[in-house]
C-alpha cells in the first residue's frame, strides 16, 4: 500500500509540475501576443514620406549651372531615414552639403531631423519635417553655422503624378518674409535616378 501511495503522490506531483509549466507557457504566449499584434498593426508613420526614398538629381540652370543630388534611404529596420545632399559642378565630383537622419517623434507626430551641415565647419541643420493636408512635405530648418550664426530655412517636397518631385528651398529674411535661396530655388524639379 505504501508503494501505491508513494506512486500516487509522485504522479500527482508530476501532474502539478506539468500543469504549472503549461500555465507558465500560456502566460508567456499571452504576454508576447500584444507586442506582436501591436508591431503588426501599428500604423506606418513613415508612409507619407516614403515617396522620397531614393536618389534624386536636380539640374539648376543658372549662368553657372550645377546639380543638386539628394539621397533618402531607410535606416535599420525602417526605424529612421538617412539623408544627404550634395552639389555637383560640371566636371567635378559631388561636394557634400549635409548628411544626417530623420526620425519619428511620437510626441509631436512628425519627423525630427539633425544634419551635419557643410563638413568641417561645425555647422548643423535641425528641425522638424511635417506633412500638409495636400501631401506636401515641409522641412522647417534651423541652421547654426560653425561661427554660431542662426538662420531659418524651409524646404518643401510636392509629389507629381509622373513620379517627379517639385521642391522649393527658401530662407527667412530679418523682416520675417521668405526668399528663394538662389534664383529659381522656389520651383526645382527632382528626378529619381534609375537604379
**Which tens digits make up the pLDDT trace of 166-186?**
999 999 999 999 999 999 999
Least confident piece of the model among 13-17, 41-45, 61-65: 13-17
Q: What is the pTM of this model?
A: 0.76
Q: Average pLDDT over the chain, rounded to whole?
A: 84
- What per-residue confidence (pLDDT) applies to 50? 95
pLDDT at residue 151, rounded to an integer: 96
pLDDT for res 90? 84
Question: Would you list the DSSP string of the chain?
Answer: -HHHHHHHHHHHHHHHHHHHHHHHHHHHHHHHHHHHHHHHHS--TTGGGGGG-EEEEEEE-SSS-EEEEEEEEE-GGGSSEEEEEEEE-TTS-EEEEEEEEEEEETTTTEEEEEEEESTTTTEEEEEEEEE-TTS-EEEEEEEE-TT--EEEEEEEEEE-TTS-EEEEEEEE-TTS-EEESSTTTTSEEEEEPP-
Report pLDDT digits (tens) over 96-145.
Answer: 999 999 999 999 999 999 999 988 999 999 999 999 999 999 999 999 99
Fold of 47-192: Lipocalin (2.40.128)
Query: Mean pLDDT throughout 57-78?
Result: 89
Q: Grid coordinates representing 189?
A: 524639379
Question: 194 pLDDT band (50/70/90 cuts)?
Answer: confident
- Delimit the domains of the chain by residue range: 1-42, 47-192
Q: Is the pLDDT of residue 84 over 50?
A: yes
Cell reading at 185: 530655388
Distance in angstroms (rounded) separating the CA atoms of residues 55 and 192? 6
pLDDT tens for 20-51 read 444 554 555 545 444 444 455 557 899 999 99
163's torsion region: left (phi>0), alpha (psi -120 to 50) or beta? left
Amino acid at each position: 500500500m505504501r508503494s501505491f501511495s508513494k506512486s500516487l503522490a509522485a504522479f500527482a506531483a508530476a501532474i502539478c509540475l506539468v500543469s504549472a509549466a503549461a500555465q507558465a507557457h500560456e502566460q508567456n504566449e499571452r504576454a508576447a501576443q500584444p507586442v506582436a499584434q501591436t508591431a503588426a498593426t501599428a500604423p506606418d508613420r513613415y508612409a507619407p514620406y516614403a515617396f522620397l526614398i531614393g536618389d534624386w538629381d536636380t539640374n539648376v540652370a543658372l549662368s553657372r549651372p550645377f546639380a543638386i543630388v539628394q539621397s533618402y534611404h531607410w535606416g535599420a529596420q525602417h526605424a529612421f531615414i538617412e539623408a544627404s545632399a550634395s552639389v555637383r559642378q560640371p566636371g567635378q565630383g559631388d561636394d557634400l552639403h549635409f548628411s544626417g537622419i530623420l526620425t519619428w517623434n511620437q510626441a509631436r507626430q512628425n519627423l525630427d531631423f539633425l544634419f551635419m551641415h557643410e563638413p568641417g565647419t561645425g555647422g548643423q541643420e535641425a528641425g522638424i519635417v511635417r506633412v500638409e493636408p495636400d501631401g506636401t512635405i515641409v522641412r522647417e530648418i534651423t541652421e547654426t553655422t560653425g561661427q554660431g550664426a542662426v538662420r531659418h530655412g524651409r524646404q518643401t517636397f510636392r509629389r507629381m503624378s509622373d513620379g517627379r518631385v517639385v521642391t522649393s528651398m527658401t530662407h527667412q529674411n530679418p523682416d520675417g518674409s521668405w526668399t528663394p535661396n538662389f534664383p529659381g530655388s522656389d520651383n526645382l524639379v527632382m528626378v529619381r535616378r534609375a537604379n
